[in-house]
Amino acid sequence: MNPIPLFFALASLSHAGLFLGQGMMSGEARDTSIFLQTRLTSANELDATGDLPGASGVVAFEWSLAENFEASSTTPFQKAEAAHDFIVRVPLNELKPNTAYFYRAHYGTTEAETQTGPTGTFKTLPGKSGDTEVRFIIGSCMNYNKFLHGRKARSSGPLTATPEDKRLGFPAFVPMAAEKPDFFVGTGDIVYYDNPIRDAETIPELRKCWHEQFRFPRMINFFKDVPTYWSKDDHDFRYNDSDNTKDRLPLSTTGIDMFREQLPLPEKSYRTIRVSKDLQIWLTEGRDFRSPNKMADGPDKTLWGAEQKAWLQSTLKASDAKWKLLISPTPLVGPDDAYKKDNHVNLKGFRHEAHDFFNWLAENKIENLMTFCGDRHWQYHSIHPSGINEFACGALNDENSRLGRKPGDQKSTDPDALIKQPFISPKPSGGFLVLTAGKQLTIEFRDDQGKELYRVEK
């Protein structure tokens, strides 16, 4: 890469009609690589229709080890075009492991006249040989309409969003930013296509769901400085408990394409990341390959699909990481509501595959594996009879939270109380998990104000 041209520093700032209305984002950090992403917009606030229109132009990313961008490098300009929702995403390679970088976007209608965006930061992973402690956050279930419209949108939790919150965004992003995490894992239901306020079906309607939410100032501030990893679930795929059957819009192919368009993702949506010498995480795909939900449970019914399941087993057997964390969009332990048939916990869902997997873990002596999940709108720490620990991060905002199902509840998937549950949310509350992984693993349950509710140390 060549040093960034001098004209960037002298560029006209008169392009009043061109903005980075959704900020910048980095994603899929590895020890020597990362993705950078932004979207050009024609405004920095929602229009009369509640959307944030895109704008054509060009974008180049500059990055450096120095905050003043001394000895920086820059990517070639790329076009922001309507076909890709005016999103520009570029990979950076040949980076240094366990190293903090600064980056910014240069953007304009043409390469000859550009303006410079704000400075963001990211840190590459230590990698397999990196004996470094890392700290990261797991969050899920960001329901924009319940947050903005409360009971009208069938809010299930307390209505705590103030007018300022509704202008700035979900309160949880304030204490999450204060943690200065190395990265963030979004476990699905990042946006909600379906809600009593509206059901998004067409591509413009699906895109609007991303625009309206990711323009929140608190989210822009957080994601410009915290690398991300994303998984999808039903609400940012199609609709509640959706599989690949039925002709109801949006079609499954559309849901898959939109998720890939809006977020920085690798070629395969299921992947494993060797974070450090001590830590390896697995992100699974729960929608693309699943059998029909209504299919009778048994050895032929799968949520993961044969290829992903074989990959999961082979990579787990090959790992020598001390801490192995399987981060799933949906639970494997629970308990959950008895009436559902959407996940590995549900009585008429994919329970056989989960039990088969737990037996495989025991037979192959896979040690220090724990599961983490989103999807459920309450936080919990549960222990399966096989000994597997599961931690649910809950919903990010209060309005999307609810009381959970406990072991022994006759309306749960564990009416006989076979599961041990050291912790469950005592009241409906938004929140997230904070993990610190090194020689020791610490898991902290926080509410959406950052207050610690429960802690596990291993």
Check residue 16 and give its pLDDT: 55
Report the C-alpha gap between 136 and 438 in whole angstroms: 12
> Looking at residue 170, what is its pLDDT?
98
Alpha-carbon distance of 409 to 403, in angstroms, equals: 12
Higher pLDDT, 42 or 5: 42
Summarize pLDDT for 44-61 with one digit per residue, the tens: 999 999 999 999 999 999
Say what the pTM is: 0.95
pLDDT tens column, 98-113:
999 999 999 999 999 9
Sign of the CA dihedral 401, 407, 409, 410? positive
Whether 10 shows a pLDDT value over 70: the answer reads no
Check whether 416 has a pLDDT greater than 90.
yes
Q: What is the pLDDT of residues 202-254, one digit of tens each?
A: 999 999 999 999 999 999 999 999 999 999 999 999 999 999 999 999 999 99
From the list 86, 93, 31, 36, the residue with the least C-alpha distance to 61 is 36
7-123 in CATH: which number?
2.60.40.380
What mean pLDDT comes out for the span 409-431? 98
What residue ranges in 56-133 does DSSP mark as E strands?
57-64, 73-74, 78-80, 87-92, 100-110, 113-116, 120-123
- pLDDT tens digits for range 138-170: 999 999 999 999 999 999 999 999 999 999 999
Using alpha carbons only, give the angle 414, 446, 405 rounded to the nearest 5 degrees. 15
Structural domain boundaries of the chain? 7-123, 134-457
The distance from CA 30 to its chain's CA centroid, rounded to whole angstroms, is 16
Residues near 435 by Cβ (< 8 Å), separated by ≥ 6?
135, 136, 137, 138, 325, 441, 442, 443, 444
Fold: same for 7-123 and 134-457: no
Three-state secondary structure call for residue 302 = coil
Q: Calculate mean pLDDT across residues 29-56.
A: 97
State residue 17's pLDDT score: 86
pLDDT tens readout for residues 340-380: 999 999 999 999 999 999 999 999 999 999 999 999 999 99
pLDDT value at 5 more than 80: no
Distance from CA of residue 225 to its chain's centroid? 15
| Cα–Cα distance measured from residue 210 to residue 197, given in angstroms and rounded to the nearest whole number | 16
Residue closest to 138 by CA, chosen among 187, 100, 73: 187
Cα–Cα distance between 350 and 302 in angstroms, integer? 6
134-457: CATH class:
alpha beta
- Binned at pLDDT 50, 70 and 90, residue 77 comes out as very high
Beta bridge partners of 107: 59, 115
What is the rounded distance in angstroms from the CA atom of residue 35 to the CA atom of residue 90? Answer: 6
Rounded to whole angstroms, the Cα distance separating 29 from 273 reads 9
* Cβ contacts of 389 within 8 Å, gap of 6 or more: 333, 370, 371, 381, 382, 383, 456
